[in-house]
Chain A
């Protein structure tokens, strides 16, 4: 039930309440964005029709590098 799907914001209504989200493969759906501060082009995680967080793209790209770093760090330490 806590499953959340990432998608990209392609448009936002004037009240900043709903946005059209592109989930890829030509799937677009409306989602409530009132719980997050977003702009067009942001990636968000959507759960049960609501965006619950803006994805940090830079951090996401760095995740794997960080893991590799952590592992080699442990190795050096050992």
Chain B
């Protein structure tokens, strides 16, 4: 319905960025942004303009920790019906993936959304149905909304939801790379609006632009960020105003807050990030997989799991290296035989890089 692939306008924006003669590093945190950047060759174009853009921890499946993967694998092995999104199924654990367990006959089901999982629970009243709830703010309202509607008593969620702003703060606090700006994710922002990002600009003096997903959106977003840098400004601008409202989706925010409260969690490649995860409020704890099946999960309680040997997903997610710098990329690690989650998920930067045939 929109025409946002206007070549003339695109060329105009690129030539404007070129005249700035800058040398900048931006980060975005969204697989769909990365897809647009690589698919349309914008990443190369921006490099020619002196702007380097990396993905950061913007892939919910990728930032899920090895321990969370082991939890869901163990639950499947204990005979639960395990449901989750397609990408999650292929993420390798220490020995298995949900995909390999499915092949071995365990009950693992792919869903398009949480309502499909509810449907399985209603159809299989005599079995336990676990939904691995992965996703950022865009996806969390769906989980919350379903839990408010008295789901079947054999249904529960393995909570793995995470929120974006604390991760941006973590990237800056860790100080591993100097960033000149953030491109903020359009659909996370659709839910949360622009306010939750403001502290990044006021406290860290980092410019931010919320951007949409068409090539023109990203070109415009980068131009707006570069302008801020040039003018010595640091604020949150909204390029995606046709969708993102300043206040976000208030109904969705209310639903999230009614069901979840913040908690500190680890992200793959990161230490614990304060208030970056969500746990169910006490009122909903009967739907908390970790509480309901505490005994089943007991053997994992004090265990820590590390990333697969040689896998550098953690460094990719922190923006320290690009996918192609990982020694396993395109060799030992390919989409059909992934070592780490960034090669599994269609939102992972390794998968995107490989898919668009930049295999070395």
Contact = CB atoms under 8 A, between A and B. Distances in A.
Interface of A: 1-4, 6, 32, 34-37, 43, 45, 47-50, 52-53, 55-57, 59-64, 67-68, 70-71, 74-75
B311 to A, nearest CB: 20
Contact of B241 (A45, A59, A61): A59
B1 A6 contact: yes
B129 interface: no
A contact face: mostly helix, strand, loop, or mixed: mixed
Contacts, number: 119
Contacts of B141: 35, 50, 52
Contacts of A64: 2-4, 6, 9, 216
B185 to A, nearest CB: 6
Listed residue (B138, B145, B227) with the most chain A CB atoms within 10 angstroms of its CB: B138
Given A48-B113, A63-B2, A71 B139 contact: no
Contacts of B60: 1-2
B233 to A, nearest CB: 14
10 contacts: A1-B347, A3-B187, A32-B142, A49-B114, A49-B116, A50-B145, A52-B190, A52-B249, A53-B245, A59-B241
A49 B112 contact: yes
B255 interface: yes
B1 A60 contact: yes
B242 A1 contact: no
A37 B244 CA distance: 15
Given A50-B113, A59-B242, A36 B12 contact: no
B115 interface: yes
A65 B139 CA distance: 32
Contact of A48 (B32, B112, B223, B242): B112
B12 A53 contact: no
Given A1-B139, A1-B345, A52-B191, 14 more contacts: A1-B61, A1-B136, A2-B347, A3-B187, A4-B138, A4-B187, A35-B145, A37-B251, A48-B114, A49-B113, A49-B142, A60-B1, A63-B2, A74-B227
Interface residues on B, range: 35 or more
Contact of A1 (B134, B216, B249): B134
Contact of B251 (A35, A45, A49, A70): A35
Contacts of A3: 32, 187
Nearest to B6: A64
A2 B134 CA distance: 11
- Per CB-CB distance, the 6 closest pairs between chain A and chain B, nearest first, are A49-B113, A48-B113, A2-B138, A60-B242, A2-B187, A59-B242
Nearest to B212: A63
Contacts of B220: 67, 70
A48 B315 CA distance: 29
Nearest to B135: A1
Contacts of B115: 32, 49
Given A48-B142, A49-B115, A55-B243, A2 B30 contact: yes
A2 B136 contact: yes
B85 interface: yes
A4 B113 CA distance: 12
A52 B138 contact: yes
Given A2-B32, A52-B252, A74-B16, A63 B136 contact: no
A1 B31 contact: yes
Contacts of B223: 71
B188 interface: yes
A70 B9 CA distance: 12
Contacts of A71: 9, 12-13, 16, 223
Contacts of A32: 115, 142, 145
